[in-house]
Structure 1
Amino acid sequence: MSYVLLTGGAGYIGSHTALELLTAGFNVLSFDNFSNSSDEALGRVQQLTAKPLISIKGDIRDEAALRQLFTDYNISAVVHFAGLKAVGESTQLPLHYYDNNVTGTLTLCRVMREFGVKKLVFSSSATVYGDAKQVPIPETAPRSATNPYGQSKLMIEHMLEDLLRAEPDWGICTLRYFNPVGAHESGQIGEDPNGIPNNLMPFIAQVAVGKRDKLSVFGNDYPTPDGTGVRDYIHVVDLARGHVKALQYLAKHSGIEAINLGTGTGYSVLDMVNTFSRVNQVAVPYQIAPRRPGDIASCYAQPAKAAKLLGWQAEKTLDDMVRDSWRWQSTNPNGYNAN
């Protein structure tokens, strides 16, 4: 029996991808240090799919543990989610981010090569585009980074490109996510951030459920339709299905492809707040606050390559995103901790 290894498989995107892979008939092995995730998520994935899933605790920087994993299991491909992802925190702890994200990926690739596993889907980010000069953003747009988190993703992209040039028999998909939101429609798995959320949707949901007093909207003077920042929000289930399509593509192709995963539509912060309130019939108090350093006005994807190469496109609407976010948050006000 062969397995798809998910590093960081218990995380927000990892757990939803595990569910979609199991549903599509793959065998799934998760390797996660649980620094920002819960094994409860994978337990719920097994309940939802009625299929077994192997979960092992470990850190991708631990080469001996990875080697043991590849020895014990027949791994055919890797989906690499494991990584720290808070932009603000990365500016305070840059060495921690480079060690975890870059060194971790280097260690993973070294062990993959040792065991002859050369199919990799890498979890990258639209942050590699920096402050893009054009929207929608195509994969060919210039890359840059404005913070250590983004820089770590960009360094990994360069590393994987160099690896492919040296060893053309690898098959690598670098998936550049835009802004994942939402939750599985069951309300059983969703985003469960540690402490204060870094992302907009879980903050909105925590305000709506009464965990936080109000939302701060950072800046209302951007050159956008309502003055607030515009982003490409994509439902996490659509995103997870993109990983299934990428693995199916890599089964037949070698080389490296960078692919945007987004809807191609930008929504403002106030669009998100107002839609959440309308769909879920719940108030979301907010206040306007000063812009945050480094935030950009508008960022959304040109997703045509994913449709052409993978046969994938986002299907869920903004209403779906806010409805599923609220179902998860209202059913699990304390996340995976005991309610």
Structure 2
Amino acid sequence: MSKTDQAANAALDTGVHTDPAALDELAEAARQERTEIGPDGGVLGYRPRRTLRLGVELRRQVRRRRTQLVLGFVVLLPFILVLSFQIGRSSPNRRSGGFVDLATASAPNFVILALFVAGGFLLPTIVALFFGDTIASEASWSSLKYLLAIPVPRHRVLRQKAIASGLLSLLALVVLPLVSLVVGLLWYGTGDAISPTGDAIPFGKSLVAIAMATGYIVLQLAWVAGLGLLLSVLTDAPLGAVGGTVLVAILSQILDQITTLGTLRDYLPTHYSYAWMDLIASDIDWTNMAAGALSAVAYGTVFSLLAARRFATKDITS
């Protein structure tokens, strides 16, 4: 028994300090002593920044089978494309046609093809998988309430998991062009990047263009990340959050093909998905890329703010 508890019991036994206010003060002092509450009202030794550290969350996510499968498939995709061209017929000297026809002309063209075929469905799905699984997976495992009871502040839970998902998404989006470039160099060698319009970009400048294209794709998929995070907060089913995000991306792409919508298509989040292709030209037009980056950031910011607001007030039952 602590000294404060002994003082309180003595006061009760002897009748000394029978004033209720004095007894309340002794009881409060005893409670603080037992729970080690500091002068600021917090438990002594508790540091919110020490909870759910980013390194711990990243290692936990990397060990998951779905992360390993996603990264493994991203690495494998360039080899699948090379095998497809080896089985089929292609002309490495072709100087015209679409990106598929020009894929074997050089390593830069092969990287462009990999980004082109993956940009419509695969890359948005990867981002949706990482972000849609953030909060919903913890809720489905019934571990979210225990995580918050540690206690980890809600805003920190959402932020740390979003950062981990963002880093894993970035890793996947960067690995694809890097592996494609290595594979392209081995099979097709260095050479100019040839655009469907016939423009030829020197190998050095084409590498810069590919780096900028990758950066644009990462930025353009910010809306997918924000929407996946929002749906992950709204539901306790990871498959529902991931699937809902992918369905919205597919619906946006379908609507973007309806030309009768006119300028309304400019407001679709996927309208500028392939604006990075303007980089493969002698005279670069930055208009579409600027509009695409602004649109993606705006959508991503709104979705993320809604997710943070909803999670801050959500009743956690699982």
Tell me if both proteins adopt one fold, taking TM over 0.5 as the criterion.
no
TM-score, normalised relative to structure 2: 0.29
More helix by share: 2
TM-score between both structures, scaled by the size of structure 1: 0.28
Structure showing greater Rg: 2
Write 1 or 2 for the structure with the bigger share of strand: 1
